[in-house]
Amino acid sequence: MDSRTVERVRSWSSADAADGYRGLHALADRAFSGAVVADDTWLFMLNGRVVGVFEGGIEDFEDASSDVYEAPHLSLPLLFAMQEAGGETKATYYTNDTPLSETDETLADAGFTGYVELSENVLSGDYYTAYYGGRSLSAAFVGSSEELITGEEAFERADDEVGLYEVVTVDIDVTDVPEPDEEATGDDVEAAAGAASATEASEPTPDDGATAVAAVDETGTAGENADANQAAAEQAAADPDASSERAVKAPDEPTTDEPSVSADESERDARTTRDTLEAGDAAAVSEAEQAADVAREPPAERPSPERPEAAGVEQSPSARAVDDEGEGEDGVFSEEVEWREATTVPSLDPEKAATRPSSGASSDATQQRTQGTAATKQAAQRSQRSQRSQPARQSASSETEERVATLKEAVAEREERIEELEARADAAESEAAELRDELTDLEEERDALRNEVAELRADLETARERADAAEEPEETASSDRTPAEALAGTNLFVRYGSKADPTLDAVADGDVSAEAVNANLRLEHHTQFDASETTVDGDSFDDFLEGTAAYRFVSWIVRDLPYELLDTGRTKGLADVFDAIPDIDRAELDGTISIRDDEGEELRSTFDVVLRDRMGNPLLVAELNPERDPVTGDEMDGLVENAEVVADAQESLGGAFYVTASFFEPDALEAATDATDGGGFLSRSDKESYVKVARKSGFHLCLVEDRNETFHVTVPEL
């Protein structure tokens, strides 16, 4: 867990909860939002839902005693869970180019899940907006005290800031709290499961989408039913949401997602009926009619409540086309349609497939089902009479053969119609693909033209600026420099109002006060450019210089550090630093120290600040880290190595400082300890934090933190 996150969470108000899963369930029941900690495992909840578990698993909470921290705002547990889960930075924007409010609208419309962080180049604080499915929650940590601001106020402040912000996408795993492992709980679950099984046997549920599809046509054998169930399951798996929605529709509300029987199932019904008729059974006609009736009703061994038969049967475009063509014929197609009225061919056109039968169609289907039931009874009576009369059976067999031939012809014509419609659908799909490709090409051409127009406008603006600059008098034009350029060309000098008044040379004797010396001491600057005509990022050079970390560090070295060493009794422990301060004549910003090794090769070491005496010998060097990122071990090793090179050739070097506005990582502190003698029991030196380069040469390594415009020495700790 991130240390800043841990510190912020532990500042929340505590809450009471039972141990184990029961405590988590209690928190979930009251829509708790916050953090739960069991040993080293952290769990974040938002409105009673677990949105993240870190440093362990949810099973760690089964019997554990937990610390509960309630979040002051809903945005915090979601934001911290996303930060700990980690994500992928999709884009980085500058607020002046892409306002935060525009990005917020885009992410909300897209149903985005992740967060937006506005912190880079922002001095006032850190601003966040967390998104889950397009809904957003905002929070901000403002000022050095990291005051928490949430809600609309946090977002409005962020929208008014200027800086860089990142859009980070995160996958959030919403976890259910496991049930407590108790015998009573298990019995309740089994009883509930039994009740649910009994209910499933008598009424459909929203999760029975596949069963609802398969129950529409069960006229065939067990193998045919299995095929139908498998097809329905595949359809439900491909669109589970639509399947569930279809399963819970009311009987009097036909929907666009009602499942229909496939063409393959209809063909299997037709083959089953034809095989029965060709067997020569005298009762084949009534059996075919019974099969059609069974296709419209659920089987007896799978009882279920009455379903909206009219809403469950859809007439496909192919079926409608055949019906239209058969109106003028001798009734053959009307008999064939009656035989197959319980099945449907899925529409090849998705738009047509979305059209459902009207209430009138439902009424017609109900009437047909009633007529089919009456036909079944009549067929049964005919079957009984045929058993009593052999001649009647032979006559029925002849009629059956004629009917089978007629039905085969009707099926062939329908299959031909289906193939024709499929070909038309394929052609339409190909045409649509060509149009999509053409649209893509046009969009690319449009984007290219837009880019060209933008480039031409930029060139025109540049030409205008050059023309305006050429018209201005050259002597009145001021030069604007970057901060790095301005510091590289600047030196600071330590001067006094009067040598007769107290100076740093008298500090060691303890006869003068800090106020008297500082009143006489001045820091003057010399630049390699005209400071009066120079601006830095739009500000005057003097205002810029006095606000830099380098200027403040040099001022602290000569105005404050000597008296801190005197007050803490460290003048001997840091003797080389204390003795070097009165000899400081000038400070070179972004300075370079050049030395030659034994082979005559020139070596250069660059530091952010180099403090020299009148002869130019380096006395103290410093590296500055004004950014928010902590100092790493590699950065600490770089300072030590550069300082060792200088100390090996210049005995005047008394100390090396690493100053940071953030903090030092453990690797950096470990590197500093390894570089010094560490105060081991074999060390005879009374020098603190001392890096020994040769037998009689070395320097003090000091780590300084820049907090609230004040410097604090942390190594060695004063």
Q: What is the DSSP string of 279-304?
A: TT-TTHHHHHHHHHHHTTS--TTS--
- Residue 463 domain flag: no
- Single out the residue in 400, 416, 431 at which a domain terminates: 431
> Do 144 and 708 form a contact (C-beta atoms < 8 A)?
yes
Same domain, 115 and 240: no
- pLDDT score recorded for residue 618: 96
Would you give the DSSP letter of residue 178?
Answer: P
Distance between CA atoms of 228 and 263, rounded to whole angstroms?
A: 11
- Residue 185 domain flag: no
Same domain, 219 and 151: no
- Residue 309 domain flag: yes
User: In whole angstroms, how far apart are CA 370 and each of 233, 287, 378?
Assistant: 30, 17, 13
Q: Is the dihedral of CA 145, 151, 153, 158 positive or negative?
A: positive
Domain holding 661, by residue range, is 483-715
- Residue 348 domain flag: yes
Task: List the structure tokens of 649.
Answer: 């050739």
Same domain, 671 and 560: yes
Distance between CA atoms of 51 and 66, rounded to whole angstroms?
A: 17
Give the three-state DSSP class for 494: strand
- Residue 448 domain flag: no
pTM summary value: 0.38
- Residue 468 domain flag: no
- pLDDT score recorded for residue 456: 93
Same domain, 524 and 388: no
- Residue 113 domain flag: yes
The size of the chain, in residues, is 718
Task: List the structure tokens of 596.
Answer: 């030659």
Query: In the chain, how many domains are there?
Result: 3
Same domain, 82 and 216: no
Question: Residues near 389 by Cβ (< 8 Å), separated by ≥ 6?
Answer: none
Same domain, 550 and 405: no
Same domain, 523 and 580: yes
| DSSP string computed for 337-362 | HHHTTT--PPPSSHHHHT----HHHH
Same domain, 155 and 260: no
- pLDDT score recorded for residue 696: 76
Same domain, 48 and 165: yes
Distance between CA atoms of 559 and 644, rounded to whole angstroms?
A: 27
- pLDDT score recorded for residue 391: 59
Same domain, 665 and 529: yes
Same domain, 392 and 278: yes
> Do 257 and 242 form a contact (C-beta atoms < 8 A)?
yes
Same domain, 100 and 229: no
Task: List the structure tokens of 549.
Answer: 């970390």
Q: Is the dihedral of CA 528, 529, 530, 536 positive or negative?
A: negative
- Residue 573 domain flag: yes
Peptide bond before residue 716 is cis, with ω within 30 degrees of 0: yes
Burial (CB count <10 Å: 0-12, 13-18, 19+), residue 248:
middle
Would you give the end-to-end CA distance of the chain in angstroms?
Answer: 31
Averaged pLDDT, groups of 10, the chain, 718 residues long: 92 91 93 94 95 92 91 96 94 94 94 95 94 94 93 94 95 86 47 37 36 33 37 36 35 38 42 42 40 38 36 38 41 44 35 38 43 49 52 71 92 94 94 94 94 93 85 58 88 92 86 90 90 84 90 94 92 93 94 84 91 95 93 95 92 95 94 77 70 87 92 90
